[in-house]
Every structure is written in structure tokens, then in C-alpha cells.
Chains A and B, each alone.
Chain A
């Protein structure tokens, strides 16, 4: 019940359809992936490790998916190791890819926690990034030149919070000069949904991807391991994936991942053009709200679907609550396990801390999907602008009438 005297309040926003602007967290399963998976969730349930007809049928499907993915990722089929997702691919790459345990591991300060926590656990070090989120190549060179042999360098292709892209060819060149012999890994989990990894990821010897970020199912991913790159197994056991990753093969997931990436690849250029225009519109219209600024300048090379904003005098948590209430699904930083908004290491690393000089500043990540529309952008702008205004107004008092 809304009290009668409460005319200043709430619902400044007219009702409208829900808008999912959190597609960096996950994406809906593409119809092509669902169709490709269906037989393997039904009659074609064989285990590829079985020698009989059911098993051979499943093995054939996995082989075909592996070839399809190899073509899409710019590698040979034998260079693909299927994993349970992006985190496993990252952890496997970092822990299994260092030539010897005595070697140092280095990563950028804005890596996904899967990389960052693994590097930290191995006693590794992080390298500063620029204000736009790109790795500082001079800092990287200095870190690689400091004492102790560097065995592995991990630099993400695209950041999951602000969307900034790294030029992996430049990174590889610095590694080649200052730490020859070090293995370069890239977390391409976010990049795979928007960029052609055949073009951008080839400088890296190890490349992580995750199916559900690009319209595939959850629970499956891949690590590209270019030939000549030694990789210790993370999971010992039955010896699947040429001994590099044991565990019964997730046939339906693998087939779905290949189908999703293949479908995406066919329409990639058109999607990127259309969505980046929508993202630019979203960001520029929201920048018209007083005290709202893009976190990284809009000319920064970044993912087509990512907009990231800093909002003065608003806390992220209540902002997200009210946006959700109005049907706009967004995120403060990246999705985290507990559900509560936590401080972002990415914003701290790029120097865009949300609490500067005692002033509150909320962070808002809006990530568009491949199916984004002008209508979604208009709805989001309307809801966000009204919600920011409401949060800045003096808090209304709750009704003093007790009727509990």
C-alpha cells in the first residue's frame, strides 16, 4: 500500500517490457545450438570413449564439432582441449602452461578472477593498465625484465567489465623481446562473442573460451593449446582429450558450442556494426544525464556490446535493485557468486574508483546482446535516467503508520 500523502514517490517509470542488458554475464541459448544438441540429450547418448556403435556415433559428432571450432578459432582440431567452461580453461592454462614451477607468472591487473586468483596463488605478479583498461606495455616490459625467469604471461583479449580490447600482437611482441620463451595465454571468454579469434587471438599460445557467453550452453568451454606448447593435465584420469583433460566428454555441450559459434560467425559483421551503433547511442544518451560519464572514453577499442558508466551521488546496489524492479537487468561490475555488489578490482586498477574524495559514485555495466534493438535502448535510457534522478532526491520517509 502506498500512503496517500506520498505523492512525490515512487514508480517514476512507466511500465514496459523487461530488457536484459547483462549479456556479458550470460546469453540465451541460440536456436541453432539447441537444435544441434537435442539428439545428444535423447537417443544419441553414447560415450565417445565406447568402441561400439553408440560410442562411435558420439565420437564422430565430437570430431565434427572439434573441426568446426578449430576453423572458427584459427587452430588445428588437435589443438583444442574441451573444458567445463571459461574458469577451467583459464586455471588449466595458467597452472598447466608454466614450463616449470620455478618460473614466474605475470598477468594484467584487470584479469578475470579465474586468472587473477590463480596467478596470485602461484605467487605471480600483476602489471598495471592504462586509464582506458589496456595493459601498459612499458610496465609489462619492465615486469618481464625484472629478475627471475618468466614462464607464462596472461593478458585478456577483452575485459569483462569495461570491455576494453588488448592488442595481443603488441603484447606478444613485448613478451618475445623481454621474456623470450614465455608462454602467452589470453582469456578470450568475452572476446569470442564479438571478435573473430582467427584474427585477434593467434599471437597467443593458449586461448580460453566459454560457450555460454556466445549463445552456447553453460558448462562447456575450450582451451586452444597451440602445437609445441607443453601443457600439464589438470585432471588426471581416463585420458580423454589426448590425455590433457580427463573426464567423460560433454558431447551435447561441445556440439552446441560449435553450432553457436558457427551461427554467430556467419552474422558477425552485421551484428557488430548494428550493436556498436546501439551501444554508442545508449552511452551518449545516458551521458546526457547530469553526473553520468562513460568509464572509458568512447573512442577506446572495445567490445561492441559493452557500455560502462560512472554515476555521481548514486550507489550501485540500490540503483541495480530499482532497475531490476523496473525490468532493466544490469550489473555493477561483473556477476559475482554471492549476488551482492562488491568493489571492482578493475575499476580500482584503471583509476576509476567509485569512492573518490568522499563522493559516492556508482558503477553501471550495460551489456547488449546480439539481438539488441533501438526499443531496448530507449527503454533503458528512460528507466535509468528516471531512477538516477529518484535516487538523488532526498529519501522519502517510510510511512509512520503502523499496521503490522
Chain B
């Protein structure tokens, strides 16, 4: 096949190209230029492009740079800012995968006459008994990226290759070293690529939206202090609020951007019975039946929580934890995993934690919230 391989400049995508070549594919490498601003580790800084180009040259494949910066602004950066303005905690990497790598790039590959698109994600694509393509966890569970790929549920998956999903990261690095790739020992990328450590999230957002001060109150309504930017506060947060230290451990248990109020309380107030999801995409377009048992992941490398699907609509769902769990900040991706007949853990669906999931009193009330 003629394969267009996304090359970020990291070790995984470099090795992915080598594996595809070994399988006899005709591979062309491409680095997506996504972010025009400053970046520490981003996939599109000049040094990352150079690393990708050098890896491609070492492997003997052509390398191109495609400019998708407009699409990145529109689908990733703008929603990231809008989510914060609305008091949500977004996952920009999920949006980038969904709209850039698995939409813009796949479309471009179509136009250019490629048969498939490849990436260096640690995830696999499997076909179930009904012939549906599903995202499965990578072999290296610690590096698994199926969480950030969860919205990729449609037929596009049939044309996507993720060869390093079959390997542990150690083996990927060993292969890179054996191939003489300079990226073999390169550290994994971390954090949001368009926000630099020097500038930070607060300054990035302050340039692009209005931040508002808010009162910090306890659960009984007593005012304890003030924060400069209610939009930067996340449920579960403990530090950085400038509250005088007390004996109690106090966490943010509610953020109300409209009312400009942050509520802090004891850790037990962070616990809930379930989570309501919106923007749900189901694997194969098929909602799970209520009562289905699922394993739920609520952050990129977070623990898995056993749960049951309570209700499932076309683009919404409610999930009930088997035992009470820490609440999920609105806007976070919540991904539901299940197992195939042969025991492979696959994405069955996922969405974002709906606004209003701040009420610790339980699921009954969540279901009445508009839009959930």
C-alpha cells in the first residue's frame, strides 16, 4: 500500500515508518505544522520538523511538511479557550487527534491518492465479529494512547495503521537505536504542545480571553478568599488558591463561572456516584445497552474505574460507578472500555463529562440537567 505516515519527530512515529517499510509498504512521511506560536515540546516546532526529516532520511522515505495551522486554531486552540471560558477542563490532545490527524490528514491522504494513513500512537485497531473497526489499547499499557483516540469511531479507522501499538516502548526505543535513529533516546512529549512552560496556561489564556476574579467559599457559604481567575480553577484542585493553611484538607468541589464562585470542601465532597456525558461517540455508531458493564478512564493515564452504563442516547450517556468515585471535572474526556471475545480491551465509546456534574448528591439529579 501507499501509506502517508504522520511523523511528529518523536521516536514512536519514526519506528512506525520503519515497521511499515518492513511490511513492504511504500511510505511517505509528513509532519503536520499545527501551531505557529512558541512551543516547548510541540509536534510542530522547527526542531521537531528537523528531527522528523532526519529520521525520514535515515529510513529512506520522502518527508513533507503540511500546514494545518488554520485547522488547528479552529478545532483545538479556539475550543480550548472557549472551554476554559465556560468553566470546563478540556483535553486538547483528544480534539487534535479527532480533527487533525484523523480528519484533516486522512482527507488530505485521500486527495493525494494514498491508501492508508499511519501514526505512531500506542494503540491498536482491531476488527470485531461484526466487522467493526475498534480502537484497542496498545500492548504497552503504561504508554497506551487509546484514551486520546476515543472519538475516532467511524470507518476511517479501517484506513489507519498504528504499528507501534503492538510494541512496548522499550522495544520501540531498542528498534530505533538498532536503526540508528537519533530519536531513540528522545524523551516522550508531555503537556499541551501549544503552551510553553515559560509562559504557562494562565498567561496563554489571559491573552485570548477575559479572566474573572471570584470568591472562594466553603460549603457553608463562608467566604475564605479570592482568586484572580475563576476560569483557571478545576474541580479537585487543592493548591494555588492562596488559602491560609488549616488542619483540614480542602479541595475545590465546585466551580461556578457564571456566579464567579469557587467552593472548597473536604475530600468526601469530591466523591460522586456517577458521571453524565455529552458529545458521546459510540464505537461503530452503536450505543451500549443500559446495564452494560464497562471499565472507565477519565484522564490520559488515569486509573480505570468499574462502572455500569445507566442510560445511553445517540450522543449522551450516564454512567454509574460500582462504588463511589472522585468526580470528573466538566469537559474531561471519559472513555468506556470493554473486552472483545478474545480478551482485548477496546474503546466502546466516550464523551466529555457534562457541565453540572458538580452535585455530589448523586446521579438522580444529574439526569435532570439540561443537555445531559
Please report A residues at the B interface, Cβ cutoff 8 Å: 1-3, 9-10, 317-318, 321-322, 325, 337-342, 391, 395-404
Contact = CB atoms under 8 A, between A and B. Distances in A.
A396 B113 contact: yes
Contacts of B133: 402
A3 B112 contact: no
A173 B116 CA distance: 60
Contacts of A341: 67
Nearest to B110: A395
Interface string B1-24: 110000000000000000010010
Interface stretch (B158-166, B206-214, B215-223, B255-263): B158-166
B111 interface: yes
Interface of B: 1-2, 20, 23, 33, 46, 49, 64-67, 106-118, 125, 127, 133, 155, 158-159, 161, 163
Given A338-B49, A397-B159, A402-B159, 8 more contacts: A1-B1, A3-B115, A339-B49, A340-B67, A398-B115, A398-B117, A398-B159, A402-B133
Nearest to A10: B113
A188 to B, nearest CB: 30
10 contacts: A2-B2, A321-B64, A321-B112, A341-B67, A397-B159, A398-B114, A398-B115, A401-B158, A404-B23, A404-B161
A338 B65 contact: yes
Contacts of B114: 398
A358 to B, nearest CB: 13
B64 A398 contact: no
A404 B23 CA distance: 8
Contacts, number: 71
B111 A391 contact: yes
Contacts of A321: 64, 112
Contact of A1 (B2, B33, B117, B125): B2
Nearest to A396: B110
Given A1-B1, A338-B65, A404-B161, A395 B49 contact: no
Contacts of B159: 397-400, 402
A168 to B, nearest CB: 35
A320 to B, nearest CB: 9
Interface centre among B64, B113, B116 (most CB of A within 10 A): B113
B64 A322 contact: no
Contact of B65 (A3, A339, A395, A402): A339
Contacts of A10: 113
A62 B150 CA distance: 66
Contacts of B125: 402
Contacts of B108: 317-318
A317 B67 contact: yes
Given A338-B65, A404-B161, A397 B110 contact: yes
A340 B1 contact: no
Given A339-B49, A340-B67, A395 B107 contact: yes
A317 B66 contact: yes
A318 B111 CA distance: 8
A120 B1 CA distance: 49
A340 B44 CA distance: 11
Nearest to B156: A398
Nearest to A325: B112
Nearest to B127: A402
